[in-house]
Amino acid sequence: MRIVIADDYKAMSRMAADEIEELVASDPSCVLGLATGSTPLGLYAELASDFEAGKTSFKDVTTFNLDEYCGLGADNPQGYRYFMNENLFDKVDVAGPSTHVPEGRSGDLDAECARYDKMIDEAGGIDLQLLGLGHNGHIGFNEPCDEFPKGTHVVDLTESTINANSRLFDSADEVPRQAITMGIGTIMAARRVLVVASGADKASIVKKAFLGPVTPEVPASILQFHPNALVIVDEEAAAELV
């Protein structure tokens, strides 16, 4: 695992965008694993503006998002499909049918999880998985637990995640209690992993996850064992690394 410290959020976003754009330039039909949350917004804005400027194209790229809230559909502004359309997919030339987000409104969530893993397999696996970092060390929606979950599965969200994510809802009561997420096995199977973390509030979990013991209590810590993981943090998030 390599950890790179960027001066600030803008520099972190630019470095992460470069990683993705270089991959897409060398392999235009690559498979990208994508993430939601506030952290990747700057990076998505960089990708969109580079597309506008004719510097990159996603026309043959396939994408798989990490997760989705149970019960929220594509038309729900708090849902992750909506987030991705708004912040990236509608701003670049990726083909709509090549973008995948778990179907949170499926009537059979277990079948949806199996379908999602099968689609990733059939696409040849993920070339690069982008990840943000939850305050409790979650990646995707893999919350701290007793063992690392393997495939895509339904998860009960922790109170801390519900509270952290309530800023994007009218109240914590409206945050769904469950989500579908790729498993740790799915994430670890990606050929490359790119983590972005920003801000002073992430400093302690960045240290715990990337310098502390590997444990399912801190799901992101498993990334220390990934053969090709790059972590890009800004100076505030790196404050406890030195």
Question: Which residues in this chain contact ligand GLP in the complex, by CB under 6 A?
Answer: 35-39, 66-67, 132-134, 140-141, 161, 165
C-alpha–C-alpha distance, residues 150 and 157, integer Å: 17
For ligand GLP, the closer of residues 54 and 73 by Cβ is 73
Q: How far is the CB of 208 from ligand GLP (least distance, A)?
A: 15
Q: Which residue has the tokens 């400093």?
A: 203
The catalytic site residues sit at 67, 136, 138, 143
Q: How far is the CB of 109 from ligand GLP (least distance, A)?
A: 16
Q: Please, which residues bridge with residue 234 across strands?
A: 6
Q: How far is the CB of 60 from ligand GLP (least distance, A)?
A: 25
Q: Buried (b) or exposed (e) across 141-171, using 16+ Cβ within 10 A? A: bbbbeeebbebbbbbebbeebbebbeeeeee
Q: How many CB atoms neighbour CB 55 within 10 A? A: 11
Q: How far is the CB of 36 from ligand GLP (least distance, A)?
A: 5
132: nearest Cα among 33, 61, 18, 235: 33
Residue-wise DSSP of 170-238: SSGGGS-SEEEE--HHHHHTSSEEEEEE-SGGGHHHHHHHHHS--BTTBGGGGGGG-TTEEEEEETTTT
For ligand GLP, the closer of residues 31 and 40 by Cβ is 40
For ligand GLP, the closer of residues 95 and 200 by Cβ is 200
Tell how strand 67-69 and strand 178-181 pair up.
Answer: antiparallel
Q: How far is the CB of 134 from ligand GLP (least distance, A)?
A: 4
For ligand GLP, the closer of residues 182 and 189 by Cβ is 182
Q: CB of 37 within 8 A of CB of 132? A: yes
For ligand GLP, the closer of residues 36 and 63 by Cβ is 36
